[in-house]
Amino acid sequence: MLCIDTEGRGIGADIAAAAEGFALRVAVSIEHAGQLAHVRPPAVGVVVLPGPGTGTAALERFLSEHATIRWVAVCAPEALQHGPCRQLVHDHCIDYHTLPLDRQRLRHTLGHALGLAALGEGQAVPHGSHAMRLTGDSAPIVGLRQRIAKVAAADAPVLIWGESGTGKELVARAVHDCSARARGPFVPINCGAIPASLVQSELFGHEKGAFTGAARARPGLIESAAGGTVLLDEIGDLPLEMQANLLRFLQEKTIHRLGGTRAVPVDVRVVAASHVNLQQAVARGSFREDLFYRLNVLALEVPPLRERRDDVVALAQLFFREYAAERAPHVRGFSSRALAALRAHDWPGNVRELLNRVRRAAVMAEHRLIGPADLDLAGKADGEPPLALHGARVQAERHAIEAGLHAGKSVTRVARELGVSRMTLYRLMAKHSIVTPARRRTP
Ligand SMILES: Nc1ncnc2c1ncn2[C@@H]1O[C@H](COP(=O)(O)OP(=O)(O)OP(=O)(O)O)[C@@H](O)[C@H]1O
Ligand SMILES: [Mg+2]
């Protein structure tokens, strides 16, 4: 639960008492709230409204950007006479409380809001749904879905690697949803978004008095995932000393809260994700080798979108249906030139780039069909060159792999010479229907 209190009016104690047991995090500015929400999006938030005369535009923007959180407003009675504040409560909050606060009533509202959020999650995330959400019928995605199912059945740590925007978080959720832990919590943590000084207490929690301001003991994010799965996203950003603590947790299945002496047993499956190549980070000395091997027990590589172009149209249509039906009902779909442009583009930002282009196009399109210009891909649809270039690249890829394998080199050696992982090479071989000469001889 997140509380935004930018004015520090001395009502923090009332709110903390009302939220006792709900793991409350307090943000003292909108930027701070953004950081906390990014690290771990809360289901419910309390927003203390500024007094009349203070601008509400930044707060309005923040609440709009975090519309999935159920907000409860707390304000002085006179704030409701102020047009913008009244509008803000009306547009973004499920309830409001005026000062002086009735702790008991606020506690009921917060419990009710959490209950509503849980109901919503129940509807939106039925068992296995994220595995189904991994849209695509290309060979790499079909293979990935099969590997997810196998990995989910085990209980060892998982390491997910893939370029930015390829769908690593979706894959992590799929692993959780398909596992025996599906009914437990799934807690995504963006390791890169936690300030270094707070990592220890955020991840492992702290005891009362562990540092100035630690008025009471608080469990960490790892503990809050007990019975479920924790996703340590961008694990490469974890400071080295925290890597040591994480390794200890993986080995002993216990955590030590900051300022505490006892070992607390925690039953959590760790899934880690990274867009940087951790093996290279190990070579550079910025990632512990022992932690890498511990996490890399089960590895999943999420292929970039340019290696599964067959999925681009299906994904674009999915995002169009999900988004445009409501916001741009006059737009009916994509023109054939837009589809050609989508297929020809190289997608350096992967699925996230596709999602953003489709959303923007749906809003910007003036005609019934989205054209290449709406997708900002006008150059790509004009004639053959991009497709021809793509064809040439595919051919070159195929020749390079065949040359190595047919010269009798092992898959490991060819992968090394081409500068890709063995998994990538196997995926490329499947894509080009290349079998190793030895396997081809087998009847
Ligand atoms: N195969 C897919 N089917 C449907 N949606 C997808 C697929 N892959 C990715 N997405 C969507 O694309 C967006 C980006 O995916 P996600 O956040 O999982 O990527 P990521 O690899 O974690 O990116 P980053 O490295 O930037 O954190 C999300 O909205 C996700 O739901
Ligand atoms: Mg991610």
- Residue, of 10 and 426, whose pLDDT is higher: 426
Three-class DSSP category at 383 = coil
Pick the CATH number of 306-383 from 2.60.40.10, 3.30.1300.10, 1.10.8.60, 3.40.640.10: 1.10.8.60
Which ligand sits nearest to residue 170's alpha carbon?
Answer: 1
Q: How far is the CA of 350 from the centre of ligand 1 (A)?
A: 8
Q: Of the ranges 140-149, 183-192, 394-403, 411-420, which one carries the lowest mean pLDDT score?
A: 394-403
Gap from CA of 134 to ligand 1 centroid (Å):
9
* Residues 273-331 pLDDT 10s: 999 999 999 999 999 999 999 999 899 999 999 999 999 999 999 999 888 776 788 88
> Residue 123 — pLDDT band, cuts 50, 70, 90?
very low
Which of 169, 233, 234, 318 has most ligand 1 atoms within 8 Å of CB, for mutation?
169
CA-wise closest residue to 72 among 114, 127, 36: 114
CA atoms of 94 and 70, how far apart (whole Å): 6
Q: Which ligand is nearest to the CA of 275?
A: 1
Q: What mean pLDDT comes out for the span 402-409?
A: 77
* 225-261 per-position pLDDT tens digit: 999 999 999 999 998 989 999 999 999 999 988 888 8
CB 224 near ligand 1, within 6 Å: no
Q: Which of 368, 381, 306 is nearest to 338 (CA)?
A: 381
- Residue 246's identity, in one-letter code, is L
Ligand 2 (ion): residues with CB under 5 Å are 169
Which residue shows structure tokens 């000469």? 437
Average confidence score pLDDT of the chain: 86
306-383 shares the fold of 2-124: no
Superfamily assignment of 2-124 in CATH? Response regulator (3.40.50.2300)
172 lines ligand 1 (CB under 6 A): no
Dihedral over Cα of 356, 359, 364, 369: its sign = positive
66-96 confidence digits (pLDDT tens) = 888 899 999 988 888 888 888 889 888 889 9
**CATH node for 129-303:** 3.40.50.300
Of 99 and 434, the one with more pLDDT: 99
Interval between CA 105 and ligand 1 midpoint (Å): 40
Please give the pLDDT value at position 384.
Answer: 43
The residue to mutate among 352, 354, 355, 358, having the most atoms of ligand 1 within 8 angstroms of its beta carbon, is: 352
Answer yes or no: is the C-beta of 275 below 6 A from any ligand 1 atom: yes
pLDDT at residue 127 in the model: 42
Q: Give pLDDT, residue 170.
A: 94
- What is the per-residue burial (b if ≥16 Cβ within 10 Å, else e) of 219-243? bbbbbbbbebbbbbbbbbbbeeebb
- Surface-to-core class of residue 137, CB atoms within 10 Å of its CB (0-12 exposed, 13-18 middle, 19+ buried): exposed
| pLDDT of 419 | 81
Give the start-to-end residue ranges of the domains of the chain. 2-124, 129-303, 306-383, 386-441
Give the 3-state secondary structure of residue 25: strand
Taking the C-alpha atoms of residue 226 and residue 205, their distance in angstroms, rounded to an integer, is: 13
Q: How many CA atoms lie within 13 A of 377 on its CB side?
A: 28
Cα–Cα distance for residue pair 137/352, rounded to 1 Å? 18
State the greatest distance between any 2 C-alpha atoms of the chain, in Å, as a whole number.
Answer: 84
Element (H, E) at 150: helix 139-153
- What pLDDT is attached to residue 121? 58
Number of continuous H segments (helices) and E segments (strands) in the chain: 21, 14
